[in-house]
Structure 1
Amino acid sequence: MKIKTITVYQIDLPLEHPYWLSGGRLKFETLDATLVKIETDTGLIGWGEGTPWGHTYVPAHGPGIRAGIETMAPFIMGLDPRRVLDVERAMDTALPDHLYAKSPIDMACWDIAGQAAGLPIADLMGGGYRTPRPIASSVGAKTAEETREVMTRYRDRGYIAHSVKIGGDVERDIARVQDVESFRRPGEIVLYDVNRGWTRQQALRVMKACEPLQVIFEQPCESLDDIAAIAPRHASPVSVDESLVTLQDAARIARDGLAEVFGIKLNRVGGLTKAARMRDIALAHGIDMFVMATGGTVLADTEALHLAATIPDQNCHAVWACQDMITVDIANGRGPRNNNGHLHLPETPGLGVHPDEDTLGLPIATYEAPR
């Protein structure tokens, strides 16, 4: 089996509501999604998606994915997509770093490999727990009142897990955490996501003030160096996601005890192949996980669910899914959808969901193997 054709689509994904990060510092209204279709000489077709969270969140953006695919396409054309390590190494040779550009190719190859084996991706990876995974909401609000409104909206959809965005103002952030904890329901999972929005002194002030609540703070500072510097001076659990990009990052976090939770974002780390190694480092060091798509459609959410299903139930807190935040559905209701706040692993071989191509418009690029 060989990769014969790679077709690239671009589609805008408007958000249902404007979304704020870092205490209102960054605003997002539309996501730039790249969909990739890989066709093989045997007729099997795999789909991948790369949807960074806008252009200003981290060093990843939609046009970069498409430029990266153009660069990598000649290097992976003709390879067997089932040999995901061969494809990974070819992409790394063709384009060092730029992991976010490699993720949709990796995803499409796993889709084909699962179809060829007659197994869902999670089973092919050796996992496949069928326990439904809680979906974590993303509460990108600016005030305590708005936070309550957004959390209520998600609770009405069955959500029991929430990622509450804070950052940028010490007194406001302490008050926000205390307010959310005052109406937090038994059994709810809440992560307070700073998105690198604190300086070291701001992080220490908020985290020390909230120590009695024993809440989890995600990415409290800009870098791993910052997180390491304040680690001995507070007792609050920490999750790392923006600073968890490479396997070397995962190894350092585990070795130096910088976090109790990994937030693995598949598009950021380069796809399932690389994310699985981070999962194993986490499990070997007693580090729990949230698994997330950086953004995107039901395709990206399903990829995250497959990785989450390879993690033992007690180590996987939740998956973050974007499909309830966008106003475009490219798969007409197919694939894993919110079922009382949870996602259920598909039994279909491969990814388990493909888009309706007529919703994607005309392709913006097509790459073919030499004849």
Structure 2
Amino acid sequence: MRISRISVWQIDLPLAKPYWLSGGRLKFEKLDSTFVRIETDEGASGWGEGCPWGHTYLPAHGPGLRSALGLLAPALVGRDPRAFDEINRIMDVRLPGHPYAKAPLDIACWDLAGKATGQPLWRMLGCDEPAAVAINSSISTGTPEEMIALIRDASAKGYRTHSAKVGGEDAAADIDRIEAISNALPKGEQVTFDVNRAWTPGVALQVLNAVSARDWVEQPCETLDQCAFVAEKVQQPIMLDECLTSFQDHLDAWKQGACQGVKVKPNRVGGLTRARQIRDFGLAVGWQMHIEDTGGSAFADTAALQLAASTPAANRLASWLCHAHLSVDPVPGQGARNHDGFVRFGDEPGVGVVPDPDALGEPVAVYEDPL
């Protein structure tokens, strides 16, 4: 089996309403998503999606992803898509770095291999029966009253875990947000306070040592070293996210004792091949993990949550669904959906989501063997 053609589509994914994070300094209204389809000489095909969360969240953006595909995709034509490690080695030689651009190609290879063997991803990723994956809300920055109202709305939809966006230069405002939300949280529900790297270490210490809350705090500062400095001096468990883009980053975080948990996002680290390696390292060192994706439609959500569904309960925290924030649905009715706060998987092969090429429009690029 050899790759004969790789097609690329671009699609805009507007958010249902504007979304603020990192203390309100970052605003998002629309995502730029890229779908790829890999076809083979034996008629099998697989899909992938890459969708940065805008262009200010991480060093990633939609046009850059598609530009990188112009270098990566031709190098994969003629290769066996089932050889995941070799596919990734080829991409790393062709274009060092840029894992977010490699992710949709890697995921498409996994989808194709699953369809070719009749296996769902969760089984290929290592488990006998998929877990029901709890999902968490994502609460935009606002006043304490506004954020508590959003949490109550999410609770009514079945969410029992919430990610509340805080952070900024106003330490007093963040202290008020954290204390008010912790005190208002219904019994049996949890919250993570996600700073999205907005605090300096001094502000982080000022806030976290002033509050009584002992909930998870996510990515308090910009760099791994800054987060490790804070983690030594606070009582809250620290979750790392944006500063971890490679296996080496995760290894360094463990060596420094910088966290008790991490977010594992296939589209950030290069796809399912790399995400599985990081997940397994997390299991070995005893981390707890939110396994989800950076952004995208229900396709991207479904691919990521298949990895979550194959992760032991002791290490698995809730996962986020980006598509719940979108005003469009390019894969209607398919894949990971919220059912009273959980996502459950069946036996559909591969990712279990098949985009309609006609609904996506004309490809923006096609790469194939010129012979």
Q: Same fold (TM over 0.5)?
A: yes
- The answer to which of 95-104 and 152-161 deviates more is 152-161
Q: State whether structure 2 residue 275 is matched by structure 1 residue 275.
A: yes
Q: Please say if residues 22 and 196 of structure 1, whose CA atoms lie closer than 8 Å, have aligned partners that are also in contact.
A: yes
- The answer to which of 14-23 and 225-234 deviates more is 225-234
CA distance in structure 2 between the aligned counterparts of 1:254 and 1:346, rounded to whole angstroms: 34
CA distance in structure 2 between the aligned counterparts of 1:162 and 1:346, rounded to whole angstroms: 26
Q: Please say if residues 229 and 258 of structure 2, whose CA atoms lie closer than 8 Å, have aligned partners that are also in contact.
A: no
Deviation at 1:49, TM superposition (A): 0.3
Deviation at 1:189, TM superposition (A): 2.6
Deviation at 1:55, TM superposition (A): 0.7
Secondary structure of the corresponding residue to residue 31 of structure 1: strand
Q: Give the letter aligned to residue 204 of structure 2.
A: A
Deviation at 1:153, TM superposition (A): 2.2
Secondary structure of the corresponding residue to residue 112 of structure 1: helix
Secondary structure of the corresponding residue to residue 190 of structure 1: strand
Q: Please say if residues 141 and 147 of structure 2, whose CA atoms lie closer than 8 Å, have aligned partners that are also in contact.
A: yes
Name the counterpart of 2:329.
329
CA distance in structure 2 between the aligned counterparts of 1:129 and 1:204, rounded to whole angstroms: 42
Q: Give the letter aligned to residue 173 of structure 2.
A: R
CA distance in structure 1 between the aligned counterparts of 2:353 and 2:367, rounded to whole angstroms: 23
Secondary structure of the corresponding residue to residue 18 of structure 1: strand
Question: Cα gap change, 1:29/1:20 in structure 2, threshold over 3 Å: closer, same or farther?
Answer: same
Deviation at 1:310, TM superposition (A): 1.9
Secondary structure of the corresponding residue to residue 207 of structure 2: helix
Question: Cα gap change, 1:254/1:106 in structure 2, threshold over 3 Å: closer, same or farther?
Answer: same
Deviation at 1:149, TM superposition (A): 2.4
Q: Please say if residues 204 and 234 of structure 1, whose CA atoms lie closer than 8 Å, have aligned partners that are also in contact.
A: yes
Q: State whether structure 2 residue 206 is matched by structure 1 residue 205.
A: yes
CA distance in structure 2 between the aligned counterparts of 1:40 and 1:187, rounded to whole angstroms: 49
Q: Give the letter aligned to residue 349 of structure 2.
A: P
Deviation at 1:315, TM superposition (A): 0.9
Deviation at 1:45, TM superposition (A): 1.1
Secondary structure of the corresponding residue to residue 135 of structure 1: strand
Name the counterpart of 2:162.
162
Deviation at 1:129, TM superposition (A): 4.2
Q: Give the letter aligned to residue 76 of structure 2.
A: I
Name the counterpart of 1:233.
233
CA distance in structure 2 between the aligned counterparts of 1:44 and 1:349, rounded to whole angstroms: 12
- The answer to which of 146-155 and 24-33 deviates more is 146-155
Deviation at 1:334, TM superposition (A): 1.5
Name the counterpart of 1:141.
141
Deviation at 1:369, TM superposition (A): 1.6
Name the counterpart of 2:291.
291
Q: Please say if residues 228 and 259 of structure 2, whose CA atoms lie closer than 8 Å, have aligned partners that are also in contact.
A: no
Name the counterpart of 2:181.
180
Q: Give the letter aligned to residue 189 of structure 2.
A: E
Question: Cα gap change, 1:196/1:76 in structure 2, threshold over 3 Å: closer, same or farther?
Answer: same
> In the comparison of the two structures, how many residue pairs are matched?
370
Name the counterpart of 2:246.
246
TM-score where L is the length of structure 2:
0.97
Q: Please say if residues 3 and 78 of structure 2, whose CA atoms lie closer than 8 Å, have aligned partners that are also in contact.
A: yes
Q: Give the letter aligned to residue 233 of structure 2.
A: R
Deviation at 1:287, TM superposition (A): 0.7
Q: Give the letter aligned to residue 208 of structure 1.
A: N
Provide, for residues 26-58 of structure 1, a one-character-per-residue CA deviation record: whole Å limited to 9, x for no partner: 110000000111111111111100010001111
CA distance in structure 2 between the aligned counterparts of 1:360 and 1:176, rounded to whole angstroms: 41
Deviation at 1:231, TM superposition (A): 2.6
Deviation at 1:191, TM superposition (A): 1.0
Deviation at 1:142, TM superposition (A): 2.0
CA distance in structure 2 between the aligned counterparts of 1:6 and 1:236, rounded to whole angstroms: 46
Name the counterpart of 2:97.
97
CA distance in structure 1 between the aligned counterparts of 2:189 and 2:253, rounded to whole angstroms: 26
Deviation at 1:335, TM superposition (A): 1.6
Provide, for residues 43-100 of structure 1, a one-character-per-residue CA deviation record: whole Å limited to 9, x for no partner: 1111100010001111000011101111111211111111111111111111000000
- The answer to which of 140-149 and 293-302 deviates more is 140-149
Secondary structure of the corresponding residue to residue 295 of structure 1: coil
Name the counterpart of 2:214.
214
Name the counterpart of 2:40.
40
Unpaired stretches in structure 2, ≥5 consecutive residues = none
Deviation at 1:174, TM superposition (A): 1.0
Question: Cα gap change, 1:239/1:94 in structure 2, threshold over 3 Å: closer, same or farther?
Answer: same
Q: Give the letter aligned to residue 318 of structure 2.
A: A
CA distance in structure 1 between the aligned counterparts of 2:356 and 2:187, rounded to whole angstroms: 40
Name the counterpart of 2:117.
117
Q: Please say if residues 106 and 271 of structure 1, whose CA atoms lie closer than 8 Å, have aligned partners that are also in contact.
A: yes
- The answer to which of 68-77 and 122-131 deviates more is 122-131
Provide, for residues 152-196 of structure 1, a one-character-per-residue CA deviation record: whole Å limited to 9, x for no partner: 222222111211100002111111111111121222231110000
Structure 1 vs Structure 2 CA RMSD: 1.2
Secondary structure of the corresponding residue to residue 319 of structure 2: strand
CA distance in structure 2 between the aligned counterparts of 1:123 and 1:366, rounded to whole angstroms: 31
Deviation at 1:300, TM superposition (A): 0.5
Secondary structure of the corresponding residue to residue 23 of structure 1: coil
Q: Give the letter aligned to residue 180 of structure 1.
A: I
Q: State whether structure 2 residue 352 is matched by structure 1 residue 352.
A: yes
Q: Please say if residues 237 and 260 of structure 1, whose CA atoms lie closer than 8 Å, have aligned partners that are also in contact.
A: yes
CA distance in structure 1 between the aligned counterparts of 2:193 and 2:175, rounded to whole angstroms: 11
Q: Please say if residues 239 and 262 of structure 1, whose CA atoms lie closer than 8 Å, have aligned partners that are also in contact.
A: yes
Name the counterpart of 2:196.
195
Unpaired stretches in structure 1, ≥5 consecutive residues = none
Name the counterpart of 1:300.
300
CA distance in structure 2 between the aligned counterparts of 1:191 and 1:233, rounded to whole angstroms: 18
Deviation at 1:128, TM superposition (A): 5.2
Secondary structure of the corresponding residue to residue 209 of structure 1: coil
Secondary structure of the corresponding residue to residue 177 of structure 1: helix
CA distance in structure 2 between the aligned counterparts of 1:3 and 1:125, rounded to whole angstroms: 22
